Structure 1
Amino acid sequence: MVETRPLLTIAIPTYNRSKELGLLLSVLAPQLTNHPEIELYISDNASPDGTPALVQRFQAEGLVVRYHRHSENIGSDANFVSCYQAARGKYFWLFGDDDIILLGTIDNLLSHITRGDFDIIYATSYGFRDDYLAERMGDPLGRRFHTITNARRVARVINIMFTFISGIIVNKERLDEIPHEDPSVFLKTNLVQLSWVLPLLLHHRQSLVMWDRPIAGRQGAAGGYSVGSVFGEKLTYMLVQCLQGRPDLVRIITNFTLRRWFPSTIDDIRSSGNQNLRLEEAETILRSCYGNNFRYWLFTWPVIKLPLPLAHLWFKGGVLVSKALYMVLIPNFWKKEI
């Protein structure tokens, strides 16, 4: 008997976050009822907490899940790759163990992928710190979904959020048909997920944006890496390697990152006093990577160097500029559905 390929694999790499994983599964499990076309896969990176018992409890309650536990911690990038390699679905969704897939999202997603064929699906998100329901935010323009056939427009809409694993679903079946590097080539970049996203942008046909913010992304959990190294040296390397022949796409993502993402991230780091992302290293590295781009000096550098109150005002001014450019560069961005 030939096994039917799942339509979608939701793969959750996890390490030592049984409490957060339990919340995610409690919201996700009822959405998977009566959906045998969806494969749920959990890759436990040798968690020392109660993760195995947690998964067993959900299995006993009827959740169908493939659970794999590594014998030792192989690192986050390698765990991501192991999820990608183990996934059997046409579509592959790598999802963070501390984020939430809101109720109704799975049915909404299936309504699209059963009727159309997409290279990339971008599920927009909102940030939360304590209560994902109390802090819920929808799309301010009331948009529902956009279907996009232009790669440049996809790059402008998703931009640096290509790096956010919980917001990106890829067509693995399509990826198998186009040239791309083996993801293991990019281990220890902290951005290995781009190895299966950017080739689909390079060979783009059609993508979907789900605008109603169906993903709640937990804030304040990032740390343990240098923001300058990962989003300077390594991001630049990944973009150039995976988008060869399309410097225009590289520029779109890079320019947004300098104009909007770095100032926002640096403002948050400075305001919170969070030292986990090693901001003190960032200025030297970012200048070496982006110093020939005027956007670094206009938008990012002042937020690093100015006194905090002035840096915050500078950041806010940059947000207004970025929003204005968004309206100019993305026609019909305000439409509810396209």
Structure 2
Amino acid sequence: MIQPFILSIVIPTFRRAACLEILLSSITSHLSYFPTDLEIIVLDNASPDNTENIVSEFANTFPIKYFRHDENIGMDGNIAACFNVASGRYLWVLGDDEILYQGTLNYVLNLCRNREFGILYMENGGFKDGQEGAIALRSIPENIKIKTLNSEKIFREVNVFLTFISANIINREEILRKIPDFDFRSDTGTFLPQMAWMYSALKIINSHIYIYTPMFGAMTGNTGGYKLIQVFGANLINITKKYFSEDSFNNANIMSNAVVTRLLPGELMHQFGSAASKSNFEHEDINLMIASCFGNNKYANVFLKGILSNSKLRREISFFGVRVLNKINKNLHYALL
């Protein structure tokens, strides 16, 4: 009898063969044997580089599956397809530019084998281009800080970082069992297709895991290809309202406050920095979009207006203020959102 996979790791990729090679090495290099209940899939969005050759080299030793689209179906189309190609009970979609710390995979596999959860969220550490070697040598500590939370509490603590695909593992099997007509493509076109399964897991399962110890490295300044405020303002808030319109706790308001305080300040400050530090976001009228999406948000009026100011001093004061707020909020488990 074929043993079912407990965990599917699916890696959507496009034209980043060098990054993918480092990720696959971090997954496989510390395995004394390949777990029979682990599935690894690379989902190639018609890359014009040597992605297929890189995967083939690893597949000579490890049973890595490779699927290639005939043509580029777009970033969020490829991400949405990850849910469909997987067959494991739990699904972990990893960005091709992440690096797992030594010990992370075995720790995560043991949790998937022995715990029942809807979402497993992991903290992570950022690294810059050129730091890959040091990150690949990093190990998780012996004592991992971990907590079980219900849906309301994990939403309040994780909030906007539920959108960070690599940090979240979801119970794919339970979603399909409780939602037989589940449409993994329902939010394609928003650049947030993963929220269909993230929010479904939150709604149908009320027990989740938060790992407070960083478990992998995520490259910074390596994102883009979409309009920042459109995606994390209009799109994310509308999706949140769609899934939680009848819930007792105001998730859309929490998410809006989280975007304004935890995500946008850092991203906007990066855009004022050196060209090398800027993410490759598509052009949009940032002031107009923020006014449209967050015009009535108290935190936006206090902090974002200052960060968007032409005055460097005012930007730095506003950014310092929101960092202080976030530190206080973290200690209060984000009760101020």
TM-score with structure 1 setting the length: 0.90
**Which amino acid is the alignment partner of residue 166 of structure 1?**
S
Query: Matched residues in 1 for 2:212 and 2:305: separation?
Result: 31
- Structure 1 partner of 2:58: 58
CA 1:118–1:255: 2 relative to 1, 3 Å:
same
Query: Matched residues in 2 for 1:162 and 1:263: separation?
Result: 18
The 3-state SS of whatever aligns with 2:259 is helix
Query: Matched residues in 2 for 1:280 and 1:70: separation?
Result: 30
Query: Matched residues in 1 for 2:185 and 2:93: separation?
Result: 16
Aligned residues: 328
Q: In the alignment, does 2:67 pair up with 1:68?
A: yes
Query: Matched residues in 2 for 1:242 and 1:232: separation?
Result: 16
Alpha-carbon distance, 1:19 to partner? 0.5
What is the percent sequence identity of the aligned residues?
A: 27
- Structure 2 partner of 1:261: 263
Alpha-carbon distance, 1:135 to partner? 6.1
The 3-state SS of whatever aligns with 1:266 is helix
Q: In the alignment, does 2:293 pair up with 1:284?
A: no
Q: Deviations over 1:17-60 (max 9, x none)?
A: 11000111111113453311000011111111011111111112
Q: In the alignment, does 2:302 pair up with 1:298?
A: yes
**Which amino acid is the alignment partner of residue 184 of structure 2?**
P
CA 1:279–1:306: 2 relative to 1, 3 Å:
farther
**Which amino acid is the alignment partner of residue 329 of structure 2?**
L
Residue ranges of structure 2 left out of the alignment (5+ in a row): none
Q: Which moved more, 1:41-50 or 1:284-293?
A: 284-293
**Which amino acid is the alignment partner of residue 97 of structure 1?**
D
- Structure 2 partner of 1:317: 321
- Structure 2 partner of 1:187: 188
Q: In the alignment, does 2:217 pair up with 1:216?
A: yes
Indicate if the aligned counterparts of 2:295 and 2:301 stay in contact, CA closer than 8 A: yes
Query: Matched residues in 1 for 2:137 and 2:230: separation?
Result: 31
TM-score with structure 2 setting the length: 0.90
**Which amino acid is the alignment partner of residue 229 of structure 1?**
Q
- 2:330 is aligned, of 299, 309, 326, to 326
CA 1:135–1:301: 2 relative to 1, 3 Å:
farther
- Structure 2 partner of 1:23: 22
Alpha-carbon RMSD across the aligned residues, in angstroms, is 2.4
Query: Matched residues in 2 for 1:126 and 1:303: separation?
Result: 24
Alpha-carbon distance, 1:225 to partner? 1.4
CA 1:148–1:86: 2 relative to 1, 3 Å:
same
- 2:312 is aligned, of 302, 308, 315, to 308
- Structure 2 partner of 1:150: 150
Q: In the alignment, does 2:92 pair up with 1:93?
A: yes
Q: Deviations over 1:65-111 (max 9, x none)?
A: 11111111111111112211010000001110111111110111122
Query: Matched residues in 2 for 1:125 and 1:42: separation?
Result: 22
Indicate if the aligned counterparts of 2:149 and 2:210 stay in contact, CA closer than 8 A: no
- Structure 2 partner of 1:121: 120
Q: Which moved more, 1:289-298 or 1:146-155?
A: 146-155
- Structure 1 partner of 2:101: 102
Query: Matched residues in 2 for 1:279 and 1:14: separation?
Result: 23
Q: Which moved more, 1:37-46 or 1:76-85?
A: 76-85
- Structure 2 partner of 1:39: 39
Q: Deviations over 1:203-235 (max 9, x none)?
A: 342111222211110111112211111111111
Query: Matched residues in 2 for 1:143 and 1:321: separation?
Result: 29
